[in-house]
Amino acid sequence: MDLRVQRTRKNIINAFLTLRAKRPLEKISVKELAELAQINKATFYLHYRDIYDLSETLENELIENIFAGIEHPDAVISDPKFFTRELADAFMSHRAMIDIVFSGERNSILIDRVEARIKDFIFDKQPNYRNSAKINIFLTYSIKGGYYAFNENIAYDMDTLLSVIGDMAECVTREIIGNN
């Protein structure tokens, strides 16, 4: 890719992140973003359809980066304690970006999309799980439950927090998957 195009995209993204850190997505205009990025509006539209397209692009990239940080997504079933730590590490390594890109009303979208990405991975490996109510409910509970328990209790000692969530995940996995 041309260096000028790379620089322009970087400027657009940096300007967007600066504005997004201060206000909700719907309050950001292409005009102010273009001014901050030192480009004209037409240049912005060469790269993105609108502010929402830019935001969705960044969200998708961030989801893929988080997922890439989970080396063993299938461990949600085979080793839930390990998966709990791996998922927490993946989120924590992108925390600053998550707090900006998925702030406000976009917050719940994050875990929905991470859950979908993990499920897709597992269902590709185990197609028979795709239509199993038991497996789908279990995965939602494990992924979203762990995520919300983590975020709501982040003030506690990290080792204790992850240990408790991991122990709970292990118990649920034994009960549900052990009887599958």
Residue pair 145/84 in contact by the 8 Å Cβ criterion: no
- 21 and 62, same domain (yes or no): no
Q: What does the pLDDT read at residue 1?
A: 66
- 33 and 9, same domain (yes or no): yes
- 16 and 74, same domain (yes or no): no
- 68 and 154, same domain (yes or no): yes
- 38 and 71, same domain (yes or no): no
- 36 and 88, same domain (yes or no): no
List, for residues 157-169, the tens digit of each pLDDT value: 999 999 999 999 9
Q: Is the pLDDT of residue 26 over 50?
A: yes
- 98 and 129, same domain (yes or no): yes
- 149 and 64, same domain (yes or no): yes
Share of the chain above pLDDT 70, in %: 98
Residue pair 14/38 in contact by the 8 Å Cβ criterion: no
Counting the structural domains of the chain, the total is 2
Burial 53-82 (b: 16+ CB within 10 A, else e): ebbbbbbeebbeebbeebeebebbbebbbb
Residue 38 backbone zone (phi > 0: left; psi -120 to 50: alpha; other: beta): left
Q: Domain range spanning residue 78? A: 57-176
Put simply, whether the predicted model's pTM sits higher than 0.75 gets the answer yes
Question: Quick one: pLDDT band at residue 107, thresholds 50, 70, 90?
Answer: confident
Q: What does the pLDDT read at residue 180?
A: 46
- 149 and 72, same domain (yes or no): yes
- 105 and 153, same domain (yes or no): yes
Q: CATH code at 25?
A: 1.10.10.60
- 111 and 137, same domain (yes or no): yes
Q: What does the pLDDT read at residue 177?
A: 87
- 40 and 61, same domain (yes or no): no
Q: Is the pLDDT of residue 178 over 90?
A: no
